[in-house]
Structure 1
Amino acid sequence: MTTLMVQGTTSDAGKSTLVTALCRWLRRQGVTVVPFKPQNMALNSAVTADGGEIGRAQAVQAQAAGLAPHTDMNPVLLKPNTDIGAQVIIHGRAVASMDAVAYHDYKRVAREAVLASHARLSAAHRVVMVEGAGSPAEINLRANDIANMGFAEAVDCPVILIADIDRGGVFAHLVGTLALLSESERARVRGFVINRFRGDLALLQPGLDWLEAHTGKPVLGVLPYLTDFHLEAEDAIDTRQSAKSDETLRVVVPVMPRISNHTDFDPLRLHPQVDLRFVGPGQPIPSADLIVLPGSKSVRADLDFLRANGWDAAIQRHLRYGGRLLGICGGLQMLGRRIDDPLGLEGEAGSSAGLGLLDFVTRLEAEKQLRNVQGRLCLEGAPVSGYEIHAGVSQGQALEHAAVRLDDDRLDGVFSEDGAVLGTYLHGLFEQPAACGALLRWAGLEAPQTIDYHALRERDIERLADLVERHLDTARLRHLCGLGEPSSLS
């Protein structure tokens, strides 16, 4: 069995994209391949088939590999709840909240979880395709590293180093990263991939020739910049919009410091009839048809942030003028009368007043709710599917008028009596075409087009595999995956 690792010179260099591409490329050849990220720090997560929680990027990579997401694919997930602390999730389950210093000491325990997951995946799959985190050149994080070269050294695997040329300084990124590695770590780097190139490749070739001569390592290929392309972001908010028609629905999402699972809004960004705007700190909420309060890793703190920006008054004004309001997960909890956190799960223990729009309260409990679910919306009885990731349990009279009836006969969320406010714990609400259409009609779009979000994602995963075939050295890649003859490539 073979393990191959993709590391990047920076965050957002293209590691997730390349691992996704290689998973689908190998699957096309009938190779059993599994994605793996030892340690991930992200607020976008997914619920696995075994009832745990992993980074959302690994769930997309699992789709590329033709597998159901599993907690072994991302054994350590860190979900920041402050600037210096995070919830630590091991094998899909939250074990504690730690500050950065405490987690640095805890890495010895996390390392055992990482190696155990890798051993299980290696035993079941021909190739384990690993994604690093950040950059291996972060020398302040080298001690007890489990995310980059520390892992590669532990399992003795080769590494591909990817850099984003669109950022500028690509040769400095690659050479500088190598310079900060130890001798044994440099030897693990078997080649470079340059990402997001636009222009004439002939103009880049002298630089590629110099890079190979200077480092003694091959350039495995140059991937082009894709303009009409979508892959769910690991953490950063993607604000790109697809081309819009003349008739659009105006949707606004207030962005709070601990916004989570903002991939919920990708189907709206890609919808030709939706003008989606993310509003940041200090910005007023513009006129809109629909305001969506997103998920949050620190609901009470984000609610304070919302008020500090005057967005609570803007939401009240929006409702008075006939606008619609949707709350998802933490956004749902904000709609009620109160949020209680007696255990201090998301910050200092205590209670906060909600927006008071609906009659219910939420209590945060230690056991997180993790489910993949299906059901029907209260709107048009439209079929809906999604996933729940929340510590809050909501109770109150308003919840008797539910937003969703789930297939296990549970009721989820709330739909206000006047029809202006809807809240739900379900992430992925807009991914099913029927549910998306019903929600857009509720928000005021008379004739929404049907968009198959899952088909769009599958199309772009296929496009990535095509890029591997066209632009990368597939013979060397097969060799690095243990699938080719080494004699002519060594």
Structure 2
Amino acid sequence: MQLTTQALMVQGTTSDAGKSVLAAGLCRVLARKGIKVAPFKSQNMALNSAVTKDGGEIGRAQAVQAQACCIEPTVHMNPVLLKPNTDIGAQVIVQGKALADMDAVGYHGYKKVVMGPVMESFGLLQSEFQTVIVEGAGSPAEINLRENDVANMGFAEKADIPVIIIADIDRGGVFAHLYGTLVLLSESEQARVKGFVINRFRGDIKLLESGLDWLEEKTGKPVLGVLPYLHGLMLEAEDAINVQQVEAAEQQMKVVVPVLTRVSNHTDFDPLRMHPQVNLQFVGKGELMPPADLIILPGTKSVRSDLAFLRQQGWDKQIARHVRLGGKLMGICGGYQMLGEHIADPHGIEGEAGESQALGYLQTATVLEPEKQLKQTTGQLQLPGQEPVAVRGYEIHAGVTQGVSADAPVQLVDGPDGQLGIDNQVFGTYLHGIFEQKEACGAILRWAGLEATQTPDFDLMREQGIDRVADTIEQYMDLAKLWPEWADKFITE
């Protein structure tokens, strides 16, 4: 089989096998070698999304991978994004714009149609870059999803590109995962698999060698690398909430975030996870909120239903007690909408049409409108008793919020944003990514009561995380087998 060398696809035996991280690392390796490379994921299902400069919406993992390539993300790097809004349905976003809400059965039938824009976007990237690193979704061995597949082998066959398969040995059963995945593929699909990668290995590689020999003998495919477990890796998760925190001698501020049923863009809290003075805790269904200095209500894809969920958990009463005792309360995006007086959805954008009484901490009211607000933006943040600091971020919301005053705490290039309430104890904003700038993060933590802030440079930490993955790949993978035409670039002294 003659395969194009203008792309390589990373597929996994399971979700969270390491596809996103491996793809990002390969992107950085190639970019450092002077090879013009771009990321691509035909179909992504995630509530963590990013906004491109031209106002399109893509999966956050592809934005991180674009950063690894040292290029700006575009909508063509993730032409189909599915954002779940119920257990059986999702908003379908095609080439950056919301198309429709579909249930799982409806979308399964629509996949044959969406392959058109998928291939268009992929072709545009191939025309501009020397190679494209493609990330699969879930597993290619999901038999029930094989028909009209656009995410894994269906796309690889259509695009005629080679594939590597990664598995997570930390889960256990790695040889069964790899061997079983391969034998469930068709003959043509098996032929395009160039080899395997084993991820998150701990221990002595000698204990693994007999298994590697067996796998290569049984499949005829090489093991291209065994990647070690990278403790403390700072790289944003595609969808699952990362609760790992940095070690700190003295964590001074307790921050609590309730996990809503459709929580979105929880990567907002990564800078707090990595802050040495912050103890960040996510609180899930059925759990009580522990004592905290600051409670932050996160974004959500279904704000009214998640507001009802918050009340079902009794969190509204726990939040009220927290505020009554002098604690600080913040909301981002959907969480900001919840802090107001009313949320109306007259068009049924996020579910059944109707109106909900919100928590009432801010004198705002929100109406969900059909046209989603998607933009990157910059401005200034000024909280009580502090000098203004620069801020940047992005907005993703259907809500239009009334009651924002001209002297709002966030002054963006396109207008004021957010509000303070309850004697400056409560703060809401639409701005995702607000904690990513050192100065803005420090200002919010000082507002919440942390006096001597020592905020790390999150942008630098993310860059170091990408480089750390790339360094590991260069050390432990046989890249010359993947790209023999560039073998001289992978020779190390």
- TM-score class normalised by the smaller sequence: over 0.9
1:483 maps to what in 2? 486
Could you say which residue in structure 2 is the equivalent of 1:469? 474
- For residue 428 of structure 1, give the secondary structure of its aligned residue in structure 2: coil
Equivalent pair of 1:72/1:121 in contact (CA under 8 Å): yes
1:327-383 Cα shifts (integer Å, max 9, x gaps): 000000001111111111111111111011122110001111011111111223111
The 2-side partners of 1:68 and 1:331 are apart by 29
Whether 1:452 aligns to 2:457 is yes
Match of 1:142 among 130, 142, 146: 146
Name the count of aligned residue pairs.
Answer: 481
TM superposition score normalised by structure 2 = 0.96
Specify whether residues 220 and 138 from structure 1 end up closer, same or farther in structure 2 by C-alpha distance, changes over 3 A only. Answer: same
SS in 2 for 1:483: helix
**Cα distance in 1, alignment partners of residues 405 and 413 from structure 2:** 17
Pick which of 329-338 and 416-425 moved more: 416-425
Q: Distance in 1 between matches of 2:448 and 2:109?
A: 49
Q: Taking every aligned residue pair, what percent have the same amino acid on both sides?
A: 64
2:167 corresponds to: 163
CA drift of 1:401 comes to 4.8
* Counterpart position of 1:327: 331
Counterpart residue number, 1:488: none
**In the TM superposition, what is the alpha-carbon distance from 1:399 to its structure 2 partner?**
4.2
Structure 2 gap segments, 5+ residues each: 489-493
**Which of 390, 396, 405 in structure 2 is aligned with 1:383?**
390
Counterpart contact for 1:401–1:415, Cα < 8 Å: no
C-alpha separation in 2, matches of 1:280 and 1:384: 30
Q: Which amino acid aligns with 1:403?
A: P
Tell me if the contact between 1:3 and 1:158 (Cα under 8 Å) persists in the aligned partners.
yes
CA distance in 2, matches of 1:27, 1:476: 18
TM-score, length of structure 1 as denominator length: 0.97
What is the rounded CA distance, in whole Å, between the counterparts of 2:54 and 2:267 in structure 1? 22
Distance 1:484 1:39 in 2: 31
Q: Of residues 405, 427, 432 in structure 1, which corresponds to 2:411?
A: 405
Distance in 2 separating the partners of 1:179 and 1:50: 43
Superposition deviation, residue 407 in structure 1 = 2.3
Given that residues 254 and 293 in structure 1 are in contact (C-alpha distance below 8 angstroms), is that contact kept between their aligned partners in structure 2? yes
- Aligned partner of residue 34 in structure 1, secondary structure: strand
Return structure 1 stretches of 4+ with deviation > 4 angstroms: 398-401
The within-5 A match list for 1:304-319 is 304-319=308-323
Q: What is the CA–CA distance in structure 2 between the aligned matches of 1:145 and 1:200, rounded to whole Å?
A: 39
Which one of the candidate residues 294, 299, 306 is aligned to 1:302?
A: 306
2:8 and 2:80 mapped to 1: Cα distance? 19
Aligned to 1:178: 182
Cα distance in structure 2, aligned partners of 1:445 and 1:74 = 39
Q: Quick one: which amino acid aligns to residue 302 of structure 2?
A: S
What are structure 1's unaligned runs of at least 5 residues?
Answer: 486-490
Amino acid aligned to 2:435: F
1:401 and 1:416 in contact (8 A); partners too: no
Shift of 1:483: 3.3
Question: Structure 2: how far apart are the matches of 1:94 and 1:459?
Answer: 34
Deviations 1:414-452 (A, max 9, x none): 112511000000000100000011000011111010310
Match for residue 199 of structure 1? 203
Letter in 1 for 2:114: A
Task: Measure the CA separation in 1 of the matches of 2:117 and 2:234.
Answer: 32
Aligned match of 2:357 in 342, 353, 360? 353
Q: Is the 8 A contact 1:403 1:423 kept in 2?
A: no
**Is the alpha carbon distance of 1:155 and 1:278 closer, same or farther for their aligned partners in structure 2, counting shifts above 3 Å?**
same
CA contact (8 A) 1:37 1:130 kept: yes
1:51-66 correspondence runs (5 A): 51-66=55-70
